[in-house]
Amino acid sequence: MTVPPPWAMLAELTHACPLHCPYCSNPVELVGRARELDTAGWTRVMAEAGALGIVHAHLSGGEPLLRRDLDLIVAAAEAAGIYTQLVTSGVGLDRARLAELAGAGLRSVQLSVQDATAETSDHLAGARSFAAKRRAAALVREAGLPFGLNVVLHRHNLDSLDEIIALAVEWGADRVELANTQFYGWALRNRAALLPTRDQLRRAERTLDAWRARLPGTPELVWVVPDYFEGVPKPCMGGWGAVSLTVAPDGSVLPCPGAYTLPGLTFPNVRERGLRWIWEESGAFHAYRGTAWMGGPCSGCPRREDDFGGCRCQAYAITGDAARTDPACALSPDHHLIRRLTDDTPPDDRTPLVYRRPRRGRA
Ligand code: SF4
Ligand code: FES
């Protein structure tokens, strides 16, 4: 069977980060800095990715600015014909660094912010960072790079959506990703503290509609749906092994950033295998590719080529079986497990947030 090539890559350059967001999708067991791929390793990854057909790379983390060789990695991507977007907290970005990165070929920046005020944003980040973000936003604007703002939404900031969008307008974002929390990694660990209520979501959607009616089209407001509440699964990653791959800081290659949780899969590493072999031949990438692996109800469902049965990592996290229909789907026999979380469990605001931190001595 011919495997069509991927077009996108998530390059997790490091798991190290100055922030400690409790909704981080990085694994609870973070990769330590000593295990990270070196410059030559990432240079080879970029060359192989370009040869494989990848045209877009998200340079992410953790905080990618903590890589002193980031400009060399960007240059390697540029040489391979890959469009690069820096996904950053903004901490550590100054004018000289941004000029260096733009000179190496960086094409756009996506900046995260946690909430609309310094106090609440810093509280959610677990670190003082709002002022650095404000400065970073101004620098990206000044440099003329396409500028996206990313805000992860949850119970603690959904009610501030109006102020958050106003902030994005003030900072001059071209695009705002209003990303309702997806529950993987640290976010899954903090799910009880982060899950919003249906009322909060309804109010937020009304706020969003009002802004969309008022704005001339910029910034573009992108609403990442809270799939726990919609009864409709997301087409996770555009399908398993279909359009994108993730390279973890240690060189492991995964079909999605959450896949490390799935049992029975061995994830190949770019230190041992070429990216083309990994994409076309490895068992991990074939495990849930296409539709042949599906059981009921997905196998007989007319939407199976549209949503690919939802998310394998979510199916595993909730049912213990990665091959089951994503319980976010209202047709799933396990959908009651989601409803129990969203409708039958009253939110308890005493549930503490567990901030993302490396285990001592690991990162
Ligand atoms: Fe998608 Fe499967 Fe639900 Fe059909 S049954 S909508 S294919 S997740
Ligand atoms: Fe792994 Fe959805 S996050 S398949």
CA-nearest residue for atom 6, ligand 1, is 303
Amino acid at 131: A
Q: What are the boundaries of each domain within the chain?
A: 8-224
Amino acid at 156: H
In this structure, the strands spanning 253-254 and 244-247 are: antiparallel
Q: Is the dihedral of CA 274, 275, 279, 283 positive or negative?
A: positive
What pLDDT shows up at residue 360?
53
Distance in angstroms (rounded) separating the CA atoms of residues 287 and 321? 13
Per-residue tens of pLDDT for the chain, all 363 residues:
689 999 999 999 999 999 999 999 888 889 999 999 999 999 999 999 999 999 999 999 999 999 999 999 999 999 999 999 999 999 999 999 999 999 999 999 999 999 999 999 999 999 999 999 999 999 999 999 999 999 999 999 999 999 999 999 999 999 999 999 999 989 999 999 999 999 999 999 999 999 999 998 899 999 999 999 999 999 999 999 999 999 999 999 999 999 999 999 999 999 999 999 999 999 999 999 999 999 999 999 999 999 999 999 999 999 999 999 999 999 999 999 999 999 988 788 889 999 998 765 443
pTM: 0.95
Beta bridge partners of 252: 269
Is 313 annotated to bind ligand?
no
Burial class (CB in 10 A: 0-12, 13-18, 19+), 249: buried
**Binding-site residues, ligand 2, Cβ < 6 A:** 184, 236-237, 240, 256, 258-259, 311-313
Burial class (CB in 10 A: 0-12, 13-18, 19+), 356: buried
Q: What is the DSSP string of 57-112?
A: EEEESS-GGG-TTHHHHHHHHHHTT-EEEEEE--TT--HHHHHHHHHHT--EEEEE
Written as six digits, the tokens of 95 are 């004018």
Distance in angstroms (rounded) separating the CA atoms of residues 276 and 70? 24
Q: Is 222 helix (H, G, I), strand (E, B) or coil?
A: strand
Vertex 110: Cα angle to 108 and 112 (nearest 5):
165
What pLDDT shows up at residue 361?
42
Answer yes or no: are the C-beta atoms of 1 and 286 closer than 8 Å.
Answer: no
Distance in angstroms (rounded) separating the CA atoms of residues 75 and 73? 5
Q: CA gyration radius for the chain?
A: 20
Tokens 């509440």 belong to 229
If you measure from the C-alpha of residue 258 to the centroid of ligand 2, how many angstroms do you get, rounded to a whole number?
Answer: 5
What architecture is domain 8-224? Alpha-Beta Barrel (3.20)
Ligand closest to CA 332: 1
Q: Is 242 helix (H, G, I), strand (E, B) or coil?
A: coil
Tell which one of 26, 237, 254 to mutate to probe ligand 2, the residue whose CB is within 8 A of the most ligand atoms: 237
